[in-house]
A = this chain, B = another copy of it.
Amino acid sequence: MKHPPQIEELVERLSKLPGLGRKSATRLALHLLRSPEDEVSALAAALMAVKERIRFCSVCHDYTDQDPCPRCSDPKRDRGSICVVESPADLMVIEASGIYHGLYHVLGGVLNPLAGIGPDELNIQDLVARVDALAKTDSQVRELILATGSSPEAEATCSYIVTQLGGRDLRVTRLARGLPSGMDLEFVDGQTLRQALEFRGEAR
Protein backbone atom coordinates (compact mmCIF):
# COMPACT_ATOMS: atom_id res chain seq x y z
CA MET A 1 0.00 0.00 0.00
CA LYS A 2 1.18 3.51 -0.84
CA HIS A 3 2.04 6.20 1.67
CA PRO A 4 -0.20 9.27 1.92
CA PRO A 5 -0.17 11.11 -1.45
CA GLN A 6 1.36 14.26 0.11
CA ILE A 7 4.39 12.27 1.27
CA GLU A 8 4.65 10.48 -2.10
CA GLU A 9 4.52 13.85 -3.87
CA LEU A 10 7.25 15.34 -1.67
CA VAL A 11 9.49 12.28 -2.09
CA GLU A 12 8.90 12.44 -5.86
CA ARG A 13 9.80 16.17 -5.98
CA LEU A 14 12.87 15.76 -3.76
CA SER A 15 14.18 12.77 -5.70
CA LYS A 16 14.32 14.91 -8.86
CA LEU A 17 17.03 17.07 -7.29
CA PRO A 18 20.62 16.31 -8.29
CA GLY A 19 22.40 13.85 -6.01
CA LEU A 20 19.22 12.65 -4.31
CA GLY A 21 17.95 9.14 -5.00
CA ARG A 22 14.58 7.85 -3.86
CA LYS A 23 16.05 6.53 -0.64
CA SER A 24 17.64 9.80 0.50
CA ALA A 25 14.57 11.72 -0.70
CA THR A 26 12.42 9.52 1.56
CA ARG A 27 14.81 10.11 4.46
CA LEU A 28 14.61 13.88 3.87
CA ALA A 29 10.80 13.80 3.65
CA LEU A 30 10.56 11.94 6.96
CA HIS A 31 12.98 14.40 8.54
CA LEU A 32 10.82 17.30 7.33
CA LEU A 33 7.71 15.62 8.75
CA ARG A 34 9.42 15.54 12.13
CA SER A 35 10.67 19.16 11.86
CA PRO A 36 8.79 22.12 13.37
CA GLU A 37 6.26 23.61 10.98
CA ASP A 38 7.93 27.04 10.93
CA GLU A 39 11.23 25.54 9.72
CA VAL A 40 9.51 23.81 6.82
CA SER A 41 7.55 26.98 5.98
CA ALA A 42 10.80 28.93 6.02
CA LEU A 43 12.37 26.45 3.59
CA ALA A 44 9.33 26.68 1.27
CA ALA A 45 9.45 30.50 1.48
CA ALA A 46 13.19 30.50 0.73
CA LEU A 47 12.52 28.39 -2.37
CA MET A 48 9.88 30.82 -3.61
CA ALA A 49 12.03 33.86 -2.79
CA VAL A 50 14.95 32.77 -4.98
CA LYS A 51 12.63 32.25 -7.94
CA GLU A 52 10.72 35.49 -7.40
CA ARG A 53 13.55 37.84 -6.46
CA ILE A 54 16.70 36.56 -8.15
CA ARG A 55 17.49 37.84 -11.65
CA PHE A 56 20.64 38.11 -13.77
CA CYS A 57 22.77 41.25 -13.37
CA SER A 58 22.62 43.16 -16.68
CA VAL A 59 26.35 43.93 -16.43
CA CYS A 60 28.09 40.72 -15.27
CA HIS A 61 25.18 38.22 -15.67
CA ASP A 62 25.63 36.77 -12.18
CA TYR A 63 22.56 36.06 -10.05
CA THR A 64 21.42 39.14 -8.13
CA ASP A 65 18.43 40.68 -6.39
CA GLN A 66 19.34 44.21 -7.55
CA ASP A 67 20.53 45.46 -10.94
CA PRO A 68 23.40 46.16 -11.36
CA CYS A 69 24.52 43.67 -8.72
CA PRO A 70 26.30 44.86 -5.54
CA ARG A 71 29.60 43.54 -6.86
CA CYS A 72 29.36 45.51 -10.13
CA SER A 73 28.40 48.65 -8.14
CA ASP A 74 31.10 48.24 -5.48
CA PRO A 75 33.68 51.07 -5.82
CA LYS A 76 36.17 49.03 -3.78
CA ARG A 77 36.50 46.25 -6.38
CA ASP A 78 39.38 46.56 -8.86
CA ARG A 79 37.57 47.81 -11.97
CA GLY A 80 40.60 47.23 -14.22
CA SER A 81 40.22 43.47 -14.16
CA ILE A 82 37.38 41.26 -15.44
CA CYS A 83 37.37 37.55 -14.64
CA VAL A 84 35.38 35.58 -17.23
CA VAL A 85 33.67 32.47 -15.84
CA GLU A 86 31.31 29.85 -17.25
CA SER A 87 28.66 29.99 -14.53
CA PRO A 88 27.55 31.65 -11.27
CA ALA A 89 28.73 28.46 -9.52
CA ASP A 90 32.28 29.01 -10.81
CA LEU A 91 32.10 32.66 -9.73
CA MET A 92 31.14 31.50 -6.22
CA VAL A 93 34.17 29.19 -6.07
CA ILE A 94 36.54 32.03 -7.00
CA GLU A 95 34.87 34.46 -4.56
CA ALA A 96 35.05 31.87 -1.78
CA SER A 97 38.81 31.57 -2.32
CA GLY A 98 39.14 35.28 -1.43
CA ILE A 99 42.05 35.66 -3.87
CA TYR A 100 40.40 37.83 -6.52
CA HIS A 101 39.00 41.34 -6.01
CA GLY A 102 38.14 42.51 -9.53
CA LEU A 103 34.95 42.30 -11.58
CA TYR A 104 33.36 39.26 -13.24
CA HIS A 105 31.61 38.32 -16.44
CA VAL A 106 29.48 35.17 -16.54
CA LEU A 107 29.32 33.54 -19.98
CA GLY A 108 26.40 31.28 -19.19
CA GLY A 109 28.15 28.16 -20.55
CA VAL A 110 30.73 27.25 -23.17
CA LEU A 111 30.55 26.88 -26.94
CA ASN A 112 29.17 23.46 -27.86
CA PRO A 113 27.99 23.30 -31.48
CA LEU A 114 26.73 19.71 -31.09
CA ALA A 115 24.40 20.84 -28.27
CA GLY A 116 23.36 23.87 -30.32
CA ILE A 117 25.25 26.36 -28.16
CA GLY A 118 26.89 28.95 -30.40
CA PRO A 119 28.30 32.41 -29.58
CA ASP A 120 24.79 33.94 -29.62
CA GLU A 121 23.68 31.66 -26.76
CA LEU A 122 26.49 32.99 -24.52
CA ASN A 123 27.22 36.45 -23.12
CA ILE A 124 30.24 36.95 -25.43
CA GLN A 125 29.23 39.89 -27.65
CA ASP A 126 28.07 41.53 -24.48
CA LEU A 127 31.57 41.05 -23.00
CA VAL A 128 33.18 42.68 -26.06
CA ALA A 129 30.70 45.57 -25.86
CA ARG A 130 31.41 45.94 -22.13
CA VAL A 131 35.18 46.12 -22.75
CA ASP A 132 34.68 48.64 -25.58
CA ALA A 133 32.33 50.81 -23.53
CA LEU A 134 34.79 50.89 -20.61
CA ALA A 135 37.65 51.81 -22.99
CA LYS A 136 35.93 55.17 -23.55
CA THR A 137 35.77 55.90 -19.78
CA ASP A 138 38.26 56.37 -16.94
CA SER A 139 37.94 52.75 -15.83
CA GLN A 140 39.51 50.99 -18.79
CA VAL A 141 39.97 47.21 -18.52
CA ARG A 142 43.66 46.28 -18.13
CA GLU A 143 43.24 42.53 -17.95
CA LEU A 144 40.68 39.93 -18.86
CA ILE A 145 41.22 36.62 -17.03
CA LEU A 146 39.63 33.65 -18.81
CA ALA A 147 38.80 31.44 -15.82
CA THR A 148 36.95 28.67 -17.62
CA GLY A 149 37.40 24.95 -17.09
CA SER A 150 39.87 22.94 -19.15
CA SER A 151 37.47 20.91 -21.31
CA PRO A 152 37.98 21.09 -25.11
CA GLU A 153 34.74 23.14 -25.35
CA ALA A 154 36.03 25.60 -22.75
CA GLU A 155 39.38 25.89 -24.55
CA ALA A 156 37.55 26.58 -27.84
CA THR A 157 35.41 29.21 -26.10
CA CYS A 158 38.57 30.95 -24.83
CA SER A 159 40.10 30.94 -28.33
CA TYR A 160 36.90 32.42 -29.73
CA ILE A 161 36.90 35.21 -27.11
CA VAL A 162 40.58 35.98 -27.83
CA THR A 163 39.72 36.32 -31.54
CA GLN A 164 36.76 38.58 -30.81
CA LEU A 165 38.90 40.87 -28.66
CA GLY A 166 41.76 41.04 -31.19
CA GLY A 167 43.41 44.44 -31.72
CA ARG A 168 42.25 45.91 -28.41
CA ASP A 169 44.67 47.29 -25.88
CA LEU A 170 44.29 44.83 -22.99
CA ARG A 171 45.99 41.76 -21.61
CA VAL A 172 44.00 38.53 -21.97
CA THR A 173 45.18 35.73 -19.66
CA ARG A 174 43.89 32.31 -18.69
CA LEU A 175 44.25 30.10 -15.61
CA ALA A 176 47.43 28.01 -15.50
CA ARG A 177 47.19 24.33 -16.38
CA GLY A 178 49.26 22.03 -14.18
CA LEU A 179 49.26 19.55 -11.34
CA PRO A 180 46.38 19.87 -8.89
CA SER A 181 47.53 20.48 -5.32
CA GLY A 182 48.44 17.34 -3.39
CA MET A 183 48.63 15.10 -6.47
CA ASP A 184 51.19 12.30 -6.83
CA LEU A 185 52.93 12.37 -10.18
CA GLU A 186 52.14 8.70 -10.83
CA PHE A 187 48.40 9.46 -10.95
CA VAL A 188 48.66 12.39 -13.35
CA ASP A 189 47.31 11.89 -16.87
CA GLY A 190 49.46 12.66 -19.94
CA GLN A 191 47.61 15.81 -20.99
CA THR A 192 47.90 17.38 -17.51
CA LEU A 193 51.61 16.50 -17.40
CA ARG A 194 52.18 17.98 -20.84
CA GLN A 195 50.48 21.22 -19.79
CA ALA A 196 52.29 21.31 -16.43
CA LEU A 197 55.57 21.17 -18.34
CA GLU A 198 54.40 23.83 -20.78
CA PHE A 199 53.34 26.21 -17.98
CA ARG A 200 56.47 25.47 -15.89
CA GLY A 201 57.95 28.39 -13.94
CA GLU A 202 61.16 29.14 -12.03
CA ALA A 203 61.73 26.91 -8.99
CA ARG A 204 61.87 28.96 -5.80
Q: How far is the CB of A11 from chain B (nearest CB, A)?
A: 9
**CB of A133 closer than 8 Å to a CB of B:** no
The complex places the Cα of A24 from the Cα of B17 at a distance, in Å, of: 11
Q: Is the CB of A50 within 8 A of B1?
A: no
Tally chain A residues at the interface, Cβ within 8 Å: 53
Q: Which residues of the partner chain B approach A10 to less than 8 Å between Cβ atoms?
A: 46-47, 49-50
* Interchain CB contact under 8 A, A54 and B95: no
| C-alpha spacing A63/B11, complex, angstroms | 14
- A132 is an interface residue with CB less than 8 A from chain B: no
Q: A46 — which chain B residues lie within 8 A by C-beta?
A: 6, 9-10, 12-13
Inter-subunit contact B44/A48 (CB<8 Å): yes
Residues of B within 8 A of A69 (CB): 4
Q: A31: CB under 8 A from chain B?
A: yes
Residues of B near A87 (CB, < 8 A) are 30
A-B contact pairs, 17 of them (CB 8 A): A1-B70, A3-B63, A4-B63, A4-B64, A6-B49, A7-B54, A7-B63, A10-B47, A10-B50, A12-B46, A19-B24, A32-B50, A32-B51, A33-B51, A33-B54, A40-B51, A47-B47
